[in-house]
Structure 1
Amino acid sequence: MQDYIVLDGHNLSTNEVMDLGRGIYKIKVCGDALTRVAKARDLIEQKLKEGKVAYGINTGFGKFANVVIPTEELTVLQENLIRSHSAGVGDPLAPDQVRRFMALRINVLSKGHSGISVKVLQQFVDAFNANCLPWVPEKGTVGASGDLAPLSHMALGLMGEGKMWSPETGWENSKKVLDMHNLTPIKLGPKEGLALINGTQLITALGVEALERSTIAADTATAIAAMSFEGLKGTTRAFDEDIHKARPHAGQIKVAKHLRLLLHSETNRSEISENSKPRVQDSYTLRCVPQVHGIVYDTIDFVRNILTVEVNSGTDNPMVFADRQEIISGGNFHGEYPAKALDYLAIGIHEIANMSERRIERLINPAYSELPAFLVTEGGLNSGMMMAHVTAAALVSENKVLCHPSSVDSITTSAGTEDHVSMGGWCARKALKVVEHVEQVLAIELISACLAVEYHRPLKTTEPLEKVLALVRSTVDPWPKDRYLAPDIEEVTKLIREGKIWKIMKPYIEETRVNGLNTASHLNGNQHGETLIR
């Protein structure tokens, strides 16, 4: 039996959004939220009975806001809004992305500021729970009055028009898919079309995915950097606790601590380090990992705060305030908050790949590494990691273009009514592309770093890094001579993206209380472990 996440419009986390996208949970709307929704709908009906004029309820939209629509045409008004605004282009969102998109809209509607009816909200929930997912093209939003085109495509499918996907049917006519699942197409009353399409849920849904994948990539990058560090026989002196206390950025302290726990220490020995000549200092891409990776952690924390607020925000226009008996036009639909945050996320997470590519260069270049050129024997006959590094360089170069902020742009739309827009949809899509490239570059570094460590055999690295190497080797064979490399990169990328590298590393860096001291959980009660900084 499938479990439920109960939505109330206030407490949905970014992790839960990801789980809803994976289809792990169904949705219920809590009773208090349904009461708020019903009260807001009652106010809409009351205003109509009183003959009051309100934007989007009995007027046109955008430039047509001053055109009052006759009562008998109000349903047509809402249906026309959905059809005309379903003007997106491009490939459809993947099913997991549509599930997140729908879940976020349901959460916003549950706040009770949209004016939707309980019936239509429940139909929305029923479609989600039946895995009936409308066709939503990825392009066509400027993040002005929210993600109007993508949200319209979603609503169109629920109306039984356009295309829809389900596991049983694949892509099919929406009405047919709804019928197969015993679902009735929604019938829009006054304001209900507008209630379904004002908001930043596409930006936020894709942004949450970029955020959570960035989090895994950043955590994994520390283990990969540690593996490269071992392959290059670096010195751990740069990660001394007092150095980082002197510049106490939270992310920097966290990364330095993780490196101390993964690399050679009295409690976690590395034969490679014990048999290496001591160095005064290493290159920046080894020595400055805490400083550079650290700001990525702090960036992720900043973006998570913004997106968590956005996930649980009312983004409609007009806003319905049943307790005040008022309907007020505002600008909560504007996508600037998530747009700016996602531009920042792309810039931050890219630096992981920037550092990673430089470490790959050090691993494959014998002038730096004291290892075989391109990490292969019989060089010349074999090219080893030569072209894999070229691929990493190409991905990093693409990221440098993708990291140009989109949210600094604005093109006036809707005949001058929407005269400043966020371009948040593109901010979110390119942030996802940047993260994808980071994952791929890290995969190339991890393959290279494992080869480098193996060149030091029979010497072993630390226990956690040996376990990471063993996981890689369970998927990708060693490299005694050239072979088809692309599948190896793809498989290791999956290990990174699915959090499997992080899962191995995590127990070694989590803290437990042992006789009043903070230690790493892998010390198994050893009281002589390093005292950690929170």
Structure 2
Amino acid sequence: MIVTVEPDGVSAAGVLAVARGTAQVVVSPAAVEAMAASRSIVDDIERDGRPVYGVSTGFGALANTFIAPERRAELQHALIRSHAAGIGAPMPREVVRAMMLLRVRSLALGRSGVRPLVADALVNLLNHDITPWVPEHGSLGASGDLAPLAHCALVLLGEGWVLGKDGTRITGADALHAAGLAPIELSSKEGLALINGTDGMLGMLLMACDDLGHLLTMADVTAALSIEAMLGTDRPFHPSIHEIRPHPGQGISAANIHRLLQGSEIMDSHRDDLVHAVQDAYSMRCAPQVAGAARDTLEFARTVAARELISVADNPVVLPDGRVESTGNFHGAPLGFAADFLAIAAAEVGSISERRVDRLLDVTRSRELPAFLTPDPGVNSGLMIAQYTAAGIVADNRRLAAPASVDSIPTSGMQEDHVSMGWAAAKKLRTVLDNLTSLLAVELLAACRGLQLRTPLTPSPAGRAALAAVTAFAGTPGPDVFLAPVLEAARATISGRVLLETIEADLGPLA
């Protein structure tokens, strides 16, 4: 696959293909022309000797310091070295690759005043699978992701570090040499253009939106399996119930769950039973209200990310009429808010999932399932401690759901006196989604154990597909086994696409 960077940017799908795959990157001729036109304006400013921030002045609190023409290239190199001040473990390959592609996108918009060769240098890193070593700490989300982007830019100069294939750290010079690439020399404005922007937090938000979209569908699947295993009713999920409260996401999740519960002998076995509970517990009955609200939050976040994908977030910006203007477009508040909202929503989807797990395991509430879903409780503990694990993860997600975007800390001699913390918000969102995967994995295992224990009644087609997948690695209810590998396999089933595709092959696409 080839992803082409145009003057209007790239698509979200293109970012994912480059970040998580092996797609190659090319810059279109039109984007090259846009960059060249923008650069000509900077060259004119250089000839005129006008004081312009980032071209002929220092940065941040040093914005009023004039830089002599003969030292402006030195200024750009010094900027990259000084700003590559991150610390901590390296960010994952996919985050760094997304960030570099989005920086190419930013330059290709033709508002940054750089030569096309600067964008080409970043493209060469991507196409040669060279991933700069970007420490996890350093960005405040304004002026964008300065430190992470500086660690990427430093490799272009033949300096800094690169993430080796085996996780080790090698020098940027060695990585370029091995790929047959040469370092570049920066000109005026180019160092600043390489590091000013929201590319890191945007890349993480785009990937999080993709991940959460899948996880919310899987949350509907695991909820339906749990409801079926606990002899719940499908009546609260009928479309007529949700038409009278028309939140879009709620309607989608309810429709999913209703479809997933059809064709079940287990559901039919108690449909007309007068002893059957008139109302199921909230964790069962309100599943679409919670997951649906998360869906609506996700739609908001996708809208924010789509806007940012066509935005110029550099500073200063070079306008076609020759003006070079300072902006605040690098401030990551829109992305930070979106990431924080998603973390809150995802944490709640995980929380209600854990409540269903606890109900499945509790002999007083599971409607005649054995305690902790083991046929021989006492000698065996069944899934008792799996629920402990889920409870601990829910507590972790509650802490991570506290918003990062309200935690501004002033920097740069009070010149940068309000920052977005968007990088931190996006980074912790990734952890919340990883935790949500684990929570849904525990529910998948518990629900399938419950369905197995309802034999000889046959579950729904979705239940049969889930049972086939889970039985392959978890077996059938019996004596206790080493549970950690089983949970890891359940995690892979949740994060993967095979189970969902199997279910959809029978029911049609789920939203």
* Same fold, TM-score > 0.5, yes or no: yes
Q: TM-score normalised to the size of structure 2?
A: 0.96
Q: How many angstroms does 1:509 deviate by? A: 5.2
Q: How does 1:326-365 map to 2 (within 5 A)?
A: 326-365=323-362
The 5-angstrom pairing of residues 60-459 of structure 1 reads 60-165=58-163, 167=165, 171-264=169-262, 269-276=263-270, 277=273, 278-321=276-319, 323-369=320-366, 370-459=368-457
1:377 aligned partner, one-letter code: P
Alignment check: 8 A CA contact 1:17 1:103 kept: yes
Q: Tell me, yes or no, if the aligned pair for 1:9 and 1:313 is still in contact at 8 Å.
A: no
Return the match for 1:478 from 468, 476, 482.
476
When residues 397 and 168 of structure 1 are mapped into structure 2, their CA distance, relative to the original with a 3 A threshold, is closer
- Residues 92-114 of structure 1: CA deviation (Å, up to 9, x unaligned): 01112211111111111110111
Q: 270-279 or 392-401, which moves further after superposition?
A: 270-279
How far apart, in 1, do the equivalents of 2:118 and 2:299 lie?
Answer: 36
Amino acid in the other structure paired with 2:251: I
Cα distance per residue 1:426-481 (max 9 Å; x no partner): 10111111111111011001000000000011211111221122122233323411
> Matched residue of 1:324: which SS?
coil
In structure 2, relative to structure 1, the CA distance for the partners of 1:498 and 1:14 (3 Å cut) is farther
* Structure 1: tracts of 5 or more residues without a match: 512-519, 521-533
> Which sits farther off after the overlay, 469-478 or 116-125?
469-478
Residue 59 of structure 1: aligned partner: 57
Secondary structure in 2 matching 1:414: coil
* Amino acid corresponding to residue 129 of structure 2 in structure 1: N
User: In 1, Cα distance between the equivalents of 2:421 and 2:208?
Assistant: 16
Q: Could you tell me how far apart the structure 2 residues matched to 1:64 and 1:115 are?
A: 21
Partners in 1 of 2:497 and 2:294 — Cα distance? 17
Shift of 1:80: 0.4
1:177-226 deviation line (CA, Å, top 9, x unaligned): 10111111121111110010000111111222222211111110001001
| Structure 2 unaligned blocks of 5 or more | none
Instruction: Provide the rounded CA distance (Å) in 2 between the counterparts of 1:500 and 1:430.
Output: 27
SS state of the match for residue 133, structure 1?
Answer: coil
The 2-side partners of 1:74 and 1:364 are apart by 68
For 1:23 and 1:168, locate their aligned partners in 2 and report how far apart those are by CA, in whole Å: 18
Q: CA offsets per residue over residues 249-302 of structure 1, 9 Å max, x none?
A: 1111111111121112xxxx1111121234422111111111111111111111
Measured in 1, the distance between the counterparts of 2:505 and 2:323 equals 53
Q: Contact 1:339 / 1:425 at 8 angstroms: preserved in 2?
A: yes
Partner amino acid, structure 2, of 1:97? V
CA contact (8 A) 2:376 2:478 kept: no
The letter for the 2-side match of 1:52 is: R
Confirm or deny: 8 A CA contact 1:230 1:453 kept in the other structure. Answer: yes
Decide whether the 8 Å contact of 2:83 with 2:147 is kept in 1.
yes
Instruction: Give me the whole-angstrom Cα distance separating, in 2, the residues matched to 1:343 and 1:442.
Output: 21
Contact 1:258 1:509 in 2 (8 A): no
Contact in 2 for aligned 1:87/1:149 (Cα 8 Å): yes
> Deviations along 1:298-341, whole A, 9 cap, x unmatched?
111110110122133211100011x2111111111001010001
CA distance in 1, matches of 2:483, 2:166: 36
User: 2-side partners of 1:115 and 1:240: how far apart?
Assistant: 57
The size of the alignment, in residue pairs, is 506
One-letter amino acid matched to 2:502: I
What is the SS of the residue equivalent to 2:364?
A: helix
Q: In 2, Cα distance between the equivalents of 1:383 and 1:279?
A: 28
**What is the DSSP-based 3-state SS (H/G/I as helix, E as strand, rest coil) of the residue aligned with 1:367?**
coil
CA distance in 2, matches of 1:132, 1:333: 26
* 2:365 alignment partner, SS class: helix
Q: Report the CA distance between 1:16 and its aligned residue.
A: 2.6
Moved more, 285-294 or 10-19: 10-19
CA distance in 2, matches of 1:365, 1:20: 46
Report the TM-score, using the length of structure 1 for normalisation. Answer: 0.92
For 1:16, the equivalent position in structure 2 comes to: 14
SS at match of 1:91: strand
AA matched with 1:165: L
Kept in 1, the 8 Å contact 2:461–2:506? The answer is no
Tell which deviates more after alignment, 205-214 or 235-244. Answer: 205-214
Equivalent position of 1:491 in the other structure: 489
Partner of 2:38: 40
Cα contact 2:219–2:440 (8 A) shared by 1: yes
Are the equivalent residues in 2 in contact too, given 1:169–1:177 (CA < 8 A)? no
| Aligned mates of 2:154, 2:406 — CA distance in 1 | 31
User: Structure 2 vs 1, CA of residues 102 and 19 (structure 1 numbering), >3 Å: closer, same or farther?
Assistant: same
For 2:177 and 2:76, how far apart are their aligned partners in 1?
23
1:203–1:424 contact (8 Å) kept in structure 2: yes
Report the AA paired with residue 493 of structure 2: L
Kindly state the Cα deviation for residue 495 of structure 1 after the two structures are TM-superposed: 1.7
**Per-residue deviation, residues 387-441 of structure 1 (Å, max 9, x unmatched):** 1000100010111111111111111100010011111111011111111111101
SS at match of 1:480: coil
Report the Cα distance in structure 2 between the residues aligned to 1:69 and 1:296, rounded to whole angstroms.
Answer: 50
Q: State how far apart, in whole Å, the 2-side matches of 1:489 and 1:16 are.
A: 32
Equivalent position of 1:27 in the other structure: 25
Mapped to 1, the partners of 2:499 and 2:413 lie a distance apart of: 51
CA RMSD of aligned residues (A): 1.6
